[in-house]
Protein backbone atom coordinates (compact mmCIF):
# COMPACT_ATOMS: atom_id res chain seq x y z
CA UNK A 1 0.00 0.00 0.00
CA UNK A 2 1.38 3.39 -0.98
CA UNK A 3 0.72 6.44 1.20
CA UNK A 4 -0.65 9.41 -0.75
CA UNK A 5 -0.28 12.86 0.73
CA UNK A 6 -1.92 15.85 -1.02
CA UNK A 7 0.62 18.32 -2.42
CA UNK A 8 -0.49 21.17 -0.13
CA UNK A 9 -0.23 18.95 2.95
CA UNK A 10 3.21 17.72 1.86
CA UNK A 11 4.45 21.33 1.75
CA UNK A 12 3.31 21.88 5.34
CA UNK A 13 4.96 18.63 6.47
CA UNK A 14 8.26 19.72 4.88
CA UNK A 15 8.15 23.14 6.58
CA UNK A 16 7.47 21.55 10.00
CA UNK A 17 10.29 19.05 9.46
CA UNK A 18 12.74 21.88 8.70
CA UNK A 19 11.96 23.51 12.04
CA UNK A 20 12.10 20.27 14.00
CA UNK A 21 15.34 19.07 12.47
CA UNK A 22 16.95 22.49 12.98
CA UNK A 23 19.30 22.20 10.05
CA UNK A 24 20.01 24.96 7.53
CA UNK A 25 17.97 24.82 4.34
CA UNK A 26 19.77 25.24 1.00
CA UNK A 27 18.13 27.64 -1.40
CA UNK A 28 18.82 29.59 -4.55
CA UNK A 29 17.73 32.99 -5.84
CA UNK A 30 18.31 34.41 -9.30
CA UNK A 31 19.13 37.89 -10.47
CA UNK A 32 17.14 37.12 -13.60
CA UNK A 33 17.22 39.52 -16.53
CA UNK A 34 14.56 39.47 -19.23
CA UNK A 35 15.32 40.11 -22.95
CA UNK A 36 15.11 43.89 -22.29
CA UNK A 37 17.73 43.65 -19.53
CA UNK A 38 15.24 44.30 -16.72
CA UNK A 39 15.42 42.34 -13.46
CA UNK A 40 12.46 40.04 -12.82
CA UNK A 41 11.08 40.22 -9.28
CA UNK A 42 8.18 38.50 -7.56
CA UNK A 43 5.83 40.04 -5.00
CA UNK A 44 5.49 37.65 -2.06
CA UNK A 45 2.13 36.94 -0.47
CA UNK A 46 3.55 36.50 3.05
CA UNK A 47 5.37 39.84 3.29
CA UNK A 48 3.79 41.88 0.48
CA UNK A 49 7.30 42.86 -0.59
CA UNK A 50 9.22 42.27 -3.80
CA UNK A 51 11.84 39.54 -3.86
CA UNK A 52 14.25 37.73 -6.16
CA UNK A 53 12.69 34.55 -7.56
CA UNK A 54 13.98 31.32 -6.12
CA UNK A 55 13.29 28.68 -3.55
CA UNK A 56 14.63 25.71 -1.66
CA UNK A 57 16.44 22.70 -3.00
CA UNK A 58 14.35 19.53 -3.22
CA UNK A 59 15.71 16.17 -2.06
CA UNK A 60 17.74 14.59 -4.89
CA UNK A 61 17.78 17.79 -6.95
CA UNK A 62 20.82 19.74 -8.15
CA UNK A 63 21.06 23.52 -8.10
CA UNK A 64 21.27 23.46 -11.91
CA UNK A 65 17.98 21.55 -12.11
CA UNK A 66 16.39 23.74 -9.47
CA UNK A 67 17.01 27.04 -11.27
CA UNK A 68 14.69 26.57 -14.28
CA UNK A 69 12.05 24.90 -12.09
CA UNK A 70 11.88 27.75 -9.58
CA UNK A 71 11.97 30.45 -12.28
CA UNK A 72 8.97 28.89 -14.02
CA UNK A 73 7.06 28.10 -10.79
CA UNK A 74 7.53 31.50 -9.17
CA UNK A 75 7.94 33.97 -12.01
CA UNK A 76 6.48 32.18 -15.02
CA UNK A 77 9.68 32.71 -17.01
CA UNK A 78 11.78 30.24 -18.93
CA UNK A 79 15.53 29.99 -18.28
CA UNK A 80 17.32 30.96 -21.48
CA UNK A 81 20.86 30.94 -20.16
CA UNK A 82 22.21 30.21 -16.69
CA UNK A 83 24.69 32.80 -15.55
CA UNK A 84 27.41 32.89 -12.97
CA UNK A 85 27.66 32.52 -9.23
CA UNK A 86 27.17 35.94 -7.61
CA UNK A 87 27.37 34.98 -3.96
CA UNK A 88 26.25 32.86 -1.04
CA UNK A 89 24.41 34.25 1.99
CA UNK A 90 23.94 32.45 5.29
CA UNK A 91 23.00 34.91 8.05
CA UNK A 92 20.60 32.91 10.27
CA UNK A 93 18.30 35.88 10.95
CA UNK A 94 17.88 36.88 7.28
CA UNK A 95 14.93 34.56 6.66
CA UNK A 96 12.30 34.57 9.45
CA UNK A 97 11.09 31.05 8.55
CA UNK A 98 14.32 29.11 8.97
CA UNK A 99 18.10 29.29 8.72
CA UNK A 100 18.66 29.50 4.97
CA UNK A 101 21.90 29.18 3.08
CA UNK A 102 21.12 30.85 -0.22
CA UNK A 103 23.14 30.64 -3.41
CA UNK A 104 22.80 33.74 -5.63
CA UNK A 105 23.18 33.35 -9.39
CA UNK A 106 22.56 35.40 -12.49
CA UNK A 107 20.31 34.22 -15.31
CA UNK A 108 18.92 35.31 -18.66
CA UNK A 109 15.20 34.56 -18.88
CA UNK A 110 12.29 34.90 -21.28
CA UNK A 111 9.49 37.39 -20.92
CA UNK A 112 6.76 36.16 -18.57
CA UNK A 113 5.03 33.18 -20.19
CA UNK A 114 2.43 32.34 -17.53
CA UNK A 115 1.18 33.21 -14.05
CA UNK A 116 3.02 31.90 -10.96
CA UNK A 117 1.97 28.39 -9.91
CA UNK A 118 0.87 29.41 -6.40
CA UNK A 119 -1.13 32.64 -6.44
CA UNK A 120 -1.20 32.75 -2.63
CA UNK A 121 2.59 32.63 -2.39
CA UNK A 122 3.35 34.92 -5.34
CA UNK A 123 1.01 37.88 -5.86
CA UNK A 124 2.67 39.50 -8.85
CA UNK A 125 5.61 39.28 -11.23
CA UNK A 126 7.22 42.38 -12.71
CA UNK A 127 10.46 43.30 -14.47
CA UNK A 128 12.28 46.44 -13.27
CA UNK A 129 15.03 48.56 -14.76
CA UNK A 130 18.05 48.87 -12.47
CA UNK A 131 17.13 52.48 -11.66
CA UNK A 132 13.57 51.60 -10.59
CA UNK A 133 14.18 48.59 -8.33
CA UNK A 134 11.95 48.59 -5.23
CA UNK A 135 13.47 48.66 -1.77
CA UNK A 136 13.52 46.98 0.63
CA UNK A 137 13.35 43.51 -0.85
CA UNK A 138 11.80 40.72 1.20
CA UNK A 139 13.86 38.32 3.30
CA UNK A 140 16.87 40.60 3.61
CA UNK A 141 17.74 40.43 -0.08
CA UNK A 142 18.22 44.17 -0.68
CA UNK A 143 21.94 44.09 0.12
CA UNK A 144 22.31 40.77 -1.69
CA UNK A 145 20.98 42.33 -4.90
CA UNK A 146 23.10 45.47 -4.45
CA UNK A 147 26.27 43.38 -4.07
CA UNK A 148 25.33 41.30 -7.10
CA UNK A 149 24.76 44.40 -9.22
CA UNK A 150 28.09 45.87 -8.10
CA UNK A 151 29.88 42.88 -9.63
CA UNK A 152 31.47 41.85 -6.34
CA UNK A 153 31.32 38.14 -5.58
CA UNK A 154 30.24 37.88 -1.98
CA UNK A 155 29.74 35.19 0.57
CA UNK A 156 29.08 35.11 4.30
pLDDT tens digits, one per residue of 11-55: 777 777 766 667 888 999 999 999 999 999 999 998 999 999 999
Burial of 119 (0-12, 13-18, 19+ CB in 10 A): exposed
Residue 33 included in any domain: yes
Residue-range definition of the domain harbouring residue 70: 24-155
* pTM, rounded to two decimals: 0.84
Q: What is the pLDDT of residue 94?
A: 79
Grouping H, G, I as helix, E, B as strand and the rest as coil, residue 22 is coil
Would residue 17 count as lying in a domain? no
**Most distant CA pair in the chain, distance:** 56
- Asked whether residue 56 is domain-assigned, the answer is yes
Q: Is residue 74 part of a domain?
A: yes
Amino acid sequence: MRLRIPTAAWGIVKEVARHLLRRPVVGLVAVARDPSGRIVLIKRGDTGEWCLPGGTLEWGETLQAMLPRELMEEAGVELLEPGVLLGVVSQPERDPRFHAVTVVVSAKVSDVKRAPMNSLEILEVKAFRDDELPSPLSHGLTDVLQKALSGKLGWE
